[in-house]
Amino acid sequence: MIRQIFGNLSCHVNDNKLIKIPNLNYTDSTAMSPTITCGILTVSDSCYKKEKEDTSGKELERAFRRAFPSFKVTHKDIIPDDRDKIINTLNKWVEDQCNIVLTTGGTGFSPRDVTPEATRAVIEKEAPGIAYAMITKSLAITPMAMLSRAVAGIKAQSLIVNLPGSAKGAVECFSFIQECIPHALALITDNKTEVTKKHREVQKRVSFVDGCGPSKVITDNVAERPRESTYAMLEVDEAFELVLKESEIRVETERLAVENALFRVLAEDVLAYDDVPPFDASVKDGYAVLASDGEGPRRVRTALGAGDAPHTSPLQPGEAIRIGTGAPIPPGADAVVQVEDTSVLRKSKGEEIEINVNKAPVKGQDIRRMGCDVAKNTVVLMNGERLKAPHVGVLAAVGKSTVTVYKPVSVGIFTTGNELKEHYEELRPGQIRDSNRLALINLLKECHYECDDYGIIRDDPDTIKKAIATALTINDILITTGGVSMGEFDFIKRVLIEDFNATVHFGRVNMKPGKPTTFATLSHEGAKKIVFGLPGNPVSASVTCLLFVIPLLRHLEGANVWQWPTIPYVVSVKKQSTDARPEYVRAVVSYLHGKIVAEPNGGQISSRLNSLVGANGLILMPPSMIPTREYLSHIILIGNLQT
């Protein structure tokens, strides 16, 4: 059974423990007063006529509320692509003192698209930087972004921003500018306290950044570093949803000879060039006969083996043609009688002259009809299927010599830590061997992904910055390990934010192991890049690679199955630890006497990589405060089930 592994995890959540900060990448200045108000205006002929649902307006409102829980959406409307109507509505909302008006729709090239023109007629000052930011960031996702004509500007104390008409485009563009909205509004409304605070923040050199969310902590000084992480603790399923949502990058395809395509994912539906088999063929070694002759004697006219062409005149009543398995059925014959159901009546010089059919044949018996395995011009394999041995065999059978497959995204990896040495080096006091790099590179290899190795990087912001820049110039996805928790040498998040202007979508996940798992996207040299900052503890690094990185790689590679298979499993809740996180227990899972049995694979401390040696499953243990003794959970199968 294959299904999404994270689908049912939310039931394991202890709500009291959740810190729900839905968006991490803005400053929601709740301290600003009075309450900021927003209007969301959908400009669309078809939505106005109710021919289409207004998903863009709804999604945008949702994104806005998530980003700014303390702001109020006071105005909403759907109007047609009509210049005067747009102008009137915008003017009315400005008069009503809406602080920010987001429009969606009418920004493109079609004749009816007039939102930018109407907006320009209303605003007093244009804010081209906002439109520029949206276009630049969108270009990293799609070249279509260059077709946007969106305008942003200020009238009185209102900021008006045009967003694209598609729900995805509108929400995406909003996410690109949301960070600056509170400060923009503080400036427009002349909120001096907020403005000064922000200016001080921006000018200060950032040393400890933990979180870029509401309680962004900025200090030069270790004694003032945050005592609590300011990253929201996301549930695993929430976090993975974000990974999927935020990881849209262009995936290329290539054409490969079938013999080199093992484990690649098909990027086309494959049609059979030929019928398989290409002719009616015998299923047995025996005699091609006429069923209507019933049982009794047959004169053996000739013989046909596999590979022979059936160039014989049609079979006559009373005749048989000796036939081999896979040989073409001769014209006229309508059944095959296996040799076991016959006896020899007459022979000459070792050749059969006459045989007896001992059992009356049935019409069609032991004949494999042309195209019965695969019919010509039908789809035999579908886009998204990963090619394993039988797939390659089927491709060969239907006469396919090359196939279009997706190119796997390119991945790079480095580990961080001043304590780390290569596995072949001598250790000095305080040093340990780097096990994460080889474990992860080989875990990826097991899943058929190659990655570029950038070695061990010291815990130093400049060195980390250079390593990230080098890797992201070559790779689309970067995996790092270490340096993502609360320590004074944990620099990964800080470098990503400060030096790469990355959006850190999450920096903490409610899971054991793997709590400080970090996921960020950024634009580097004009292209969108993805960074997984995995925790340094060896088990944490491997488990989070299994649960986040590998499913994403499969998804990006176009595979229609990207999650590990799961099986339902009842766990007995014995432990009572203070650590409330749901735990992914490394286990040996077997099928014994009709039952699934799972044994934890020794000590489960996050440094003990041996817990993964021989483990084929991760038992999801509920958080320790769940009071029941038995709990229906599931096992994630990361290897083959033992029997």
Ligand X SMILES: Nc1nc2c(c(=O)[nH]1)N[C@H]1C(S)=C(S)[C@@H](COP(=O)(O)OP(=O)(O)OC[C@H]3O[C@@H](n4cnc5c(N)ncnc54)[C@H](O)[C@@H]3O)O[C@H]1N2
Binding site for ligand MOO (CB under 6 A): 512-515, 535, 537, 540, 606
What does 417 interact with, of Mg ion, ligand X, ligand MOO, none (CB < 5 to 8 A by kind)?
ligand X
E-strand ranges in 105-223 read 125-126, 152-155, 158-163, 208-209, 218-219
Which option in Mg ion, ligand X, ligand MOO, none does residue 182 bind, with CB closer than 5 to 8 A by kind? none
Tell me which of Mg ion, ligand MOO, ligand X, none is bound by residue 103, counting a contact when its beta carbon lies within the kind-specific cut-off of 5 to 8 angstroms: none
Task: Quote the least distance from Cβ 574 to Mg ion, whole Å.
Answer: 30
Footprint of Mg ion on this chain (CB under 5 A)? 485, 487, 490
Q: Which residues bind ligand X (CB under 6 A)?
A: 415, 417, 419-420, 432, 434-437, 481-487, 490, 513, 515-516, 535-538, 540, 606
Pick the closer one to ligand MOO by CB: 25 or 436.
436
Q: Which is nearer to ligand X, 264 or 437 (CB)?
A: 437
Query: 570 contacts which partner out of ligand X, Mg ion, ligand MOO, none, CB within 5 to 8 A by kind?
Result: none
Question: CA-to-CA distance for 543 and 611, rounded, in angstroms?
Answer: 11
**Nearest-angstrom CA–CA distance, 93 and 86:** 11
Q: What phi and psi, each to the nearest 5 degrees, are found at residue 565? A: -70, 150
CB-based burial label for 408 (10 Å; 0-12, 13-18, 19+): buried
Least Å from the CB of residue 92 to ligand MOO: 53
* Identity of the residue, 368 or 515, whose beta carbon is nearer to ligand X in the bound complex: 515
CB of 432 to ligand X, least distance (A): 5
- By C-beta, is 94 or 484 nearer to ligand MOO? 484
Using the minimum distance from each CB to ligand X, give the nearer residue, 14 or 590: 14
β-strand 319-323 against 296-304: which pairing, if any?
Answer: parallel
Q: Shortest approach of Mg ion to residue 624 CB, angstroms? A: 24
Beta-carbon contacts of residue 413 (< 8 Å; ≥ 6 apart): 437, 440, 441, 451, 452, 453, 454, 478, 479, 480, 481
The beta-strand segments (E) located in 400-509 are 402-406, 411-416, 420-421, 432-433, 451-457, 477-481, 503-506
Q: How far is the CB of 380 from ligand X (least distance, A)?
A: 45
Q: Which partner in Mg ion, ligand MOO, ligand X, none is near 420 (CB below 5 to 8 A by kind)?
A: ligand X
Least separation in angstroms between residue 502's CB and ligand X is 17
Helix (H, G, I), strand (E, B) or coil at 117: helix
End-to-end CA distance of the chain: 17
Minimum CB distance to ligand MOO smaller for 103 or for 485: 485
Nearer to ligand X, 57 or 516 (CB): 516
Which partner in Mg ion, ligand X, ligand MOO, none is near 538 (CB below 5 to 8 A by kind)?
ligand X
Within 10 angstroms of residue 630's Cβ, the number of other Cβ atoms is 9
User: How far from chain centre, in Å, is Cα 137?
Assistant: 21
Asked whether the beta carbons of 419 and 425 are under 8 A apart, the reply is no
Amino acid at 101: V
89 vs 230 by CB, closer to ligand MOO: 230
With respect to ligand X, which residue has the nearer C-beta, 226 or 600? 226
Question: Cβ of residue 17: shortest distance to ligand X, in angstroms?
Answer: 13
Q: How far is the CB of 543 from ligand MOO (least distance, A)?
A: 8
**Of these partners, ligand MOO, Mg ion, ligand X, none, which one is at the site of residue 616 (CB under 5 to 8 Å by kind)?**
none
CB of 186 to Mg ion, least distance (A): 35
Instruction: Classify the C-alpha dihedral 394-400-402-406 as positive or negative.
Output: negative
- Under the phi-then-psi rule, with left for phi > 0, alpha for psi from -120 to 50, and beta for the rest, what region is 349? left
Q: Please report, for the chain, how many H helices and E strands are present, in that order.
A: 15, 33
